[in-house]
Amino acid sequence: MAPRHPLASLSQEETNIARDVVLAEQGGAVVDFRTIALQEPVKAELVRFLDLEHAGKLTTDSPRPQRLARVHYDAIDSSKVPKYLETIVDVNSKKVVSHEIISSDVHACLTM
């Protein structure tokens, strides 16, 4: 199977990988996912890829930018204080690239 284009939306499989990585990272916390979407590659990496693609020199072995998922979610752990978080997941290596607590005192006006 050919690798996905760096700007193609996440596949269902990639979305599931990102979800599973976050759930493992959060341990026993209750997690409410808001969004899981493609984190676009860094411009310099993308330009190198697009140059190859536009020149007709792209092969399955050509270097490609990481496929990253940006995951926004709420988590409630044993402290019972909800936190709004953002985690970037490399879906190929199934590893967390970055993790940030956006806020533990501010939330969206509606959470189902």
**E-assigned strand segments in the chain:** 30-39, 68-76, 82-90, 95-103
* pTM given for the model: 0.86
How high is the pLDDT of residue 28? Answer: 86
Q: What pLDDT band is residue 111 in, cutting at 50, 70 and 90?
A: low
Q: 């005192």: which residue's tokens? A: 105
- How far is Cα 65 from Cα 41, in angstroms, rounded to an integer? 6
At position 46, the amino acid (one-letter code) is L
Q: Is the pLDDT of residue 106 over 70?
A: no
Q: CB of 87 within 8 A of CB of 105? A: no
What's the mean per-residue pLDDT of the chain? 90
- pLDDT value of position 100: 92
For residue range 26-73, list pLDDT tens digits in order: 988 999 999 999 999 999 999 999 999 999 998 888 899 999 999 999
Domains in the chain, CATH or no CATH each: 12-40+66-103 (3.10.450.40)
Structure-block tokens of residue 55: 């020149």
